[in-house]
A and B are shown apart, each in its own frame.
Chain A
Amino acid sequence: MRGDAFSMRVFRPASPAEAVRLFAQNPDALPLAGGTDLMVGWNSGRLNGRAVLDLSRLEEWRRIEVTDEGARIGALATHSEIESHPVLLKRLPLLAEACATVGAVQIRNRGTLGGNVANASPAGDSFPALAVYEAFVHTVSKEGRRSLPILEVFAGVKRTALRPGELIERIDVPFLPQPPARQFFRKVGSRLAQTISKAVGAGLLWLGRGGVVLGCRIAFGSVAPTVRRLRSVEECLHSGRLTPETIEKACAALSSDISPIDDVRSTRLYRMAVSRNLLRAFLTGRA
């Protein structure tokens, strides 16, 4: 362990207002939620000498509220709390399932949805679900409040569109107006627990009379610098029927939506093939 506790400056705001004020005064401070990512970096010694804004006392940001329209998930709600929330399990099952695949129980008990989003890893397990549910990320800073569509939060690998001094206070996930005919979530890692995704996907599909696609939302993670909605694929499918030909056309369109790479965890070919297989299985109803 190479982190030096003595070198750290720690702010522990007791209220959101105090957090915003402290962050405005110390924009270089590292916001700390569940610590499951930040502390790994700190243990390696990379973050010595930094200031940390510990958000863990902000009970207001831990709550999960359910309204008629959707769920308002406090930024500090943990993956465990989301995966076991009875309403979310029923109304936002892809998100609950995604949260249940994050790390292992120890990580899920600490890691938060807000922290996951702010961390902006290309492999964030919850992002495809948030993308297909078209979640909004609510932020607060000295300048005021903003609401960003989830996809606009991510600016690149481990980079967000959050401004200096801006914190995520909650994530609003709207309920679906109509229950989908099909849905899927699938995480592909390197083992069956405690793993980082090599490809992760979520999808929703609404079908009308005669199998016409009324709506379709599909997103994949770990296959581009940020989570991707498959806009070209969705375009291919919209208003048509799910014939073998359209499905193949949609699968072919996948390569314009994602741009996987070779890295220490996997290969471009694998990520591309698996994403295509999962997409095809979803569209053919075999996922």
Chain B
Amino acid sequence: MTINFEVNGARRIFEGDPFKRLIDVLREDFALTGTKEGCGEGECGACTVLLDGRPVNSCLIPICQADGHRIETVENLGIPERLSALQKAFLEEGGAQCGICTPGMLLAAAAHLKAGGKADDLSIRRALGGNLCRCTGYQHIVKAVQKAAKAPRKPRRKKA
């Protein structure tokens, strides 16, 4: 089956088993290994990507259901030389430790902020409720998201 979808702003075609999971297509076929598998059961949120701007568990989506949709992964948020405000805040506030939950956590947080979600402690914790982290106890993550919420919305764009 042919799947046409958008990944990180680029039109992509996947030709293969329609029931291959989105996470596997991203990781195996498009080498986007930033998306992690922590449980394969939709519990841990490490595989979170954005589908049409909303956080979803990519381990629970057969690729056929991504046909015609827009996917964003952690690779789209920024690069080490030019981090987004959210990534920078995570770096400064200790929001990432082992790093395995980090991509999913960043995407859930980015979606929350982009949707105009509130930056109070409880709203952020609610938005991140589907992303398990065993390292941080969440406090530094919540602080990082709050810091990013206060940062100017759009990062300065550098001309290539």
Give A residues with C-beta under 8 Å from B. 1, 3, 5-6, 8, 10, 12, 32, 34-36, 39-40, 42-44, 52, 54, 56, 80, 103-107, 109-110, 192-194
Contacts and interface: CB of A to CB of B under 8 A. Distances in A.
Contacts of A107: 42, 57, 130
Given A1-B37, A5-B19, A106-B45, A35 B60 contact: yes
Interface size of B as a range:
35 or more
Q: Which 8 A-B pairs have the closest CB atoms?
A: A104-B130, A193-B129, A5-B17, A8-B19, A39-B60, A5-B20, A5-B19, A43-B40
B61 A35 contact: yes
A54 B65 contact: yes
B25 to A, nearest CB: 10
A191 to B, nearest CB: 9
B60 to A, nearest CB: 4
B132 to A, nearest CB: 8
Contacts of B24: 1, 5
Interface in B2-25: 16-21, 24
Given A52-B62, A105-B129, 12 more contacts: A1-B40, A5-B18, A39-B62, A43-B59, A54-B62, A56-B64, A56-B65, A103-B42, A105-B130, A106-B57, A106-B130, A194-B132
B129 A109 contact: no
B62 A35 contact: yes
Interface in B53-97: 54-57, 59-62, 64-65
A1 B39 CA distance: 9
B19 A105 contact: no
A72 to B, nearest CB: 23
5 contacts: A35-B61, A40-B42, A56-B64, A105-B127, A106-B55
B146 interface: no
B157 to A, nearest CB: 29
B119 interface: no
Contact of A106 (B16, B20, B48, B126): B48
A110 B57 contact: yes
A10 B45 contact: no
A134 B133 CA distance: 40
B144 interface: no
Given A10-B1, A54-B65, A39 B56 contact: no
